[in-house]
Amino acid sequence: MKIRFAKKDDIDLFIPIKQEFTKEYSGSKKSESFIAKEFEDYIKKGVVIFVILNSKLIGYLAGTAEEDLYERFGYIGEVFVSKEFRNKGIATKLKDKFIEFLKSKKITLCRIDVSPDNLAQEAYKKWGFKIDKYRMSLRF
C-alpha cells in the first residue's frame, strides 16, 4: 500500500473512484469533465492524497488549507475508501497524512463538515474531532 499526494496528471486514476464516491453518496453520475475540474480545483487550493494498492486507487482524501479573518485552518472536503477496503485504518492513514501536510504549513486546526445522519461521524470522533458549532441553512 502506498500513500502519496496526487499530481495534476493523475486524473485518469482519480475518475473511477470519484464516480464510485458519487454513485454511493448521491446516486447520480458526474461527467468526467466535471470530476476533472473538481480535482484540479482541489490540487490548486490544497491537496488530494491517494492510497494505492496494486496500482489501483482504493481511497483518497481531498483537503484544503484555508484562512479567514480570524484563523488559518485545514478543511477536509472529502474522504473516501472503496467498500471492500473499509474498516482497515485506511481513512485514518489519509487523515494522518493530511495533518502532516497542515503541520508543514504551520496550521494547527482541522475541520470537517458532516451531516447529522452520516455514520462517518463516529470515525471522526475517534480521530479526535469535536463539535464546535452548528451550521444552520435556509434553502429557498
Q: Into which CATH architecture does domain 2-126 fall?
A: 3-Layer(aba) Sandwich (3.40)
pLDDT of residue 135: 81
pLDDT of residue 27: 74
Give the list of residues 6+ apart from residue 94 with CB closer than 8 angstroms, or none: 3, 49, 51, 59, 60, 61, 79, 81
pLDDT of residue 26: 79
Which residues of the chain have a pLDDT value below 50? none
Provide the residue ranges of all domains of the chain, joining segments of one domain with +: 2-126
Rounded Cα distance, 92 and 119, in Å: 15
pLDDT of residue 117: 86
Rounded Cα distance, 51 and 121, in Å: 21
